[in-house]
Structure 1
Amino acid sequence: METHVYIDGFNLYYGLLRGTPHKWLDLERFCDQLLPKNDVRKIYYFTAKVDARPHDPDQPTRQLAYLHALETLPRVEVHLGTFMSSVVSQVVVDTDPATGRYLRAGGKPVIKTDAAGTPVKAWTFKSEEKGSDVNLAAYLLRDAYQENCACAVIISNDSDLLTPIRMAKADCGMTIGLVPPRPKGSVELKRLADFKIEPRVHLLASSQLPPTLQTSQGMVHKSANW
């Protein structure tokens, strides 16, 4: 089947790539190996440009090099959302003094309270990625209603995609595949998909871009930290 792949970049990174030496991922080769029986025509990659952090000032440089590297792959389209940052007052969860991990009771985090039983609050810096899930849903539905492909494969754990996936299946008869970056992803997404593929580590290792690439912005190099 003619197939389009829709990748939630942050889901992929935090669910599958973080902490591995496989971040310099060739998305075309990865998708072709995931779907050897499908004709993968287009790969959408949805992400947002990150900001420098005190503990990792080079994070934007690494990401930009990777985005430039993806420009060399003719079947890949990169679509950028945005980050929104704000300072908000939030309740504090209680922690275990021995481990530092937050406590849970009845499957829910335990809220820290003062002597009067009032929830303790603290000012926190909150950074949220906006747009990737909406962009993914929009491109999925456009392809479904325009009959641009017979099969859509979604690399994400985001349950916010349930409604657009249902619409693509019910209204257009689109076949939906799911590649969950985290083993404990959305149960609803897994039930809704027509087929599911577990991404194996060996596919990541065998789907790496060359360490140096010529791009429209000049030569880019794989980061030594990657």
Structure 2
Amino acid sequence: MSELQVEEPKKIRAALYVDGFNLYYPLCKLGANHYKWLDLWKLGKRVAEDRSHTLVSVTYCTAYRKDLDAKRRHQAYVQALESANVKCILGHYIATKSDPCHNCGDVYDSFSEKQSDINLALSLFADAKDDTFDWAYLLTADSDQTATAKFLKSHYPEKRLVTVAPPGQEISTNIANEADGKRRLNVEDIKSCLFPPIILRDGDLPIRCPREYEPPRPAAA
């Protein structure tokens, strides 16, 4: 008599979608620059495993600043993310003129980041259409993404969404009202998901953490 085969439980596929700047500024407020050297794949696994879900993809949407030092650091970080199988989608900055100063009449250039929010939404919808995930984890506190949650619910009712708030930020009530779950990140989530200072790659040069993102050195005894 053949043994009865026990069917393994179906894996629930999770995908993480990260609003880069909506995560970056809360990390700045934590007052520890090395937290910015954050492995989003590790973070996605940590969050998904709360619900016994299996992480299958991570998408990070951002844009490079015009400042050369900031751009250099950001490019190194994107390299690190791509080495960890994170899909990075870049928007851009545009220059706009300020209103004339009331005192001197001077006009200044200011820069506005464009496309990250729409890239985030479109990436999530494209993956829903391609049946990439069962549960989407949307890491942002931007209530504009409420439209994303509503659209997913109405067009892909079999899919589920968890709203994830950056550390120190409140969960968006508007997104939560359309979501199937919620999660707030904390400092321990960040500390446990950092890249190593040097990321080794087969057949390629290692990726080094920018000096500004290095962890603080222990105080001398």
Task: Place the TM-score, normalised by the shorter chain, in its bin.
Answer: 0.7 to 0.9
Which residue of structure 1 aligns with residue 82 of structure 2?
Answer: 71
| Cα distance in 2, alignment partners of residues 60 and 5 from structure 1 | 24
Give the secondary structure class of the aligned counterpart of 1:163: helix
1:83 to 90, 93, 98: 93
Q: Check 1:140–1:91 CA distance in 2 against 1; reply closer, same or farther (3 A cut).
A: farther
RMSD: 2.3
| Cα distance in 2, alignment partners of residues 73 and 83 from structure 1 | 26
Q: Check 1:170–1:199 CA distance in 2 against 1; reply closer, same or farther (3 A cut).
A: same
Report the structure, 1 or 2, having the larger helix content.
2
Alpha-carbon shift at residue 124 of structure 1 (Å): 4.0
**Does 1:51 find its partner at 2:66?**
yes
Report the identity percentage. Answer: 27
Once the two structures are overlaid, the 10-residue window that deviates more, 22-31 or 216-225, is: 216-225
* 8 A Cα contact 2:128 2:156, kept in partner: yes
Alpha-carbon shift at residue 153 of structure 1 (Å): 0.5
Which residue of structure 1 aligns with residue 117 of structure 2?
Answer: 133
2:72 to 43, 54, 61: 61
Once the two structures are overlaid, the 10-residue window that deviates more, 16-25 or 167-176, is: 16-25
- Given the two structures, how large is their TM-score scaled by the length of structure 2? 0.79
- Given the two structures, how large is their TM-score scaled by the length of structure 1? 0.78
| Cα distance in 1, alignment partners of residues 163 and 95 from structure 2 | 30
| Cα distance in 2, alignment partners of residues 179 and 16 from structure 1 | 14
| Cα distance in 2, alignment partners of residues 160 and 90 from structure 1 | 30
1:29 to 35, 42, 48: 42
Alpha-carbon shift at residue 83 of structure 1 (Å): 0.7
**Does 1:199 find its partner at 2:209?**
no
Extract unaligned runs of 5+ from structure 1: 93-113, 115-120
Alpha-carbon shift at residue 60 of structure 1 (Å): 1.4
Give the secondary structure class of the aligned counterpart of 1:61: helix
**Does 1:221 find its partner at 2:205?**
no
Extract unaligned runs of 5+ from structure 2: 1-11, 214-221
Which residue of structure 2 aligns with residue 42 of structure 1?
Answer: 57
Flag as ranges the 4+ runs of structure 1 deviating above 6 A: none
Give the secondary structure class of the aligned counterpart of 2:194: coil
2:196 to 204, 210, 217: 210
How many pairs were matched up?
A: 195
